Homo-oligomer: A and B are copies of this chain.
């Protein structure tokens, strides 16, 4: 039987489960807060055009106001100065939008230390147990942070010294960017970098190194606990915004039962 026929039959029968990795989009969706004097994204907002009323008797619809980097979103290389001539979100090859994914679970560590940072050795140890990181695929980094995403304060977890959310060390970000074949990383937090990454050298190393290497980011994922360690396929197709640095994205995972 053809691969696509098998795919359709398996999705229908439930032999392949489709798991939604996307957080719902609403005015409650948490957004990044950068300190002064930096610009920040607007909150997500719907603006009603009509709702079965004089403005449209048979139809209901809205305008949308949002950031490119709001909710579950895709970071394109051009988002960062290290890839200023790199791909915008409309230029990412469509083939790379359907790709294998592996899950590295550090939820236990992050629950003990909100500033937990993934290190090269963690990834190497994972590889010894589970095989190489997927060529052209996603490294999905589970921290348990998705359980906080309904609550902006708990999600950003900021105090006087700034936000405290788990991330990836400078060395590990550089190594993932230059020494591994992954297409990008996916995280549960508000952005791919740790809360404290504004003070790292370089600042925001995941953005700096991974986007600089032409790789991608996925953020604010949920349901990573429902994925196998290896073997899932992730569909993460951003809107083809011309010149866009990123895009809210619906991320689906396919998992064979």
Contact = CB atoms under 8 A, between A and B. Distances in A.
Interface string A112-135: 000000000000000000000000
Could you say which of A3, A40, A231 has the most chain B C-beta atoms within 10 Å of its C-beta? A3
Q: How big is the A interface, by class?
A: 35 or more
Interface stretch (A48-56, A155-163, A171-179): A48-56
B7 A3 contact: yes
Interface stretch (A9-17, A103-111, A141-149): A9-17
A85 B203 CA distance: 48
A8 B58 CA distance: 43
A190 to B, nearest CB: 14
A240 B20 contact: yes
A65 B67 contact: no
B98 A252 contact: yes
Copies per complex of this chain: 2
A39 B53 CA distance: 10
B24 A240 contact: yes
Contacts of A37: 54-55
A55 B68 contact: no
A246 B61 contact: yes
A95 B250 contact: no
Nearest to A55: B39
Contacts of A55: 37-39
Interface of A: 2-8, 10-12, 15-16, 18-20, 22-26, 34, 37-42, 46, 49-50, 52, 54-69, 78-82, 84, 90, 94-95, 97-100, 136, 203-204, 207-208, 231-233, 235, 237-246, 248-250, 252, 254-256
Given A12-B95, A64-B67, 15 more contacts: A3-B10, A3-B15, A4-B254, A5-B231, A20-B240, A24-B242, A25-B90, A25-B242, A25-B244, A58-B80, A62-B67, A63-B68, A64-B64, A98-B252, A235-B252
Smallest CB-CB A-B distances: 4 pairs: A237-B250, A39-B55, A39-B49, A26-B242
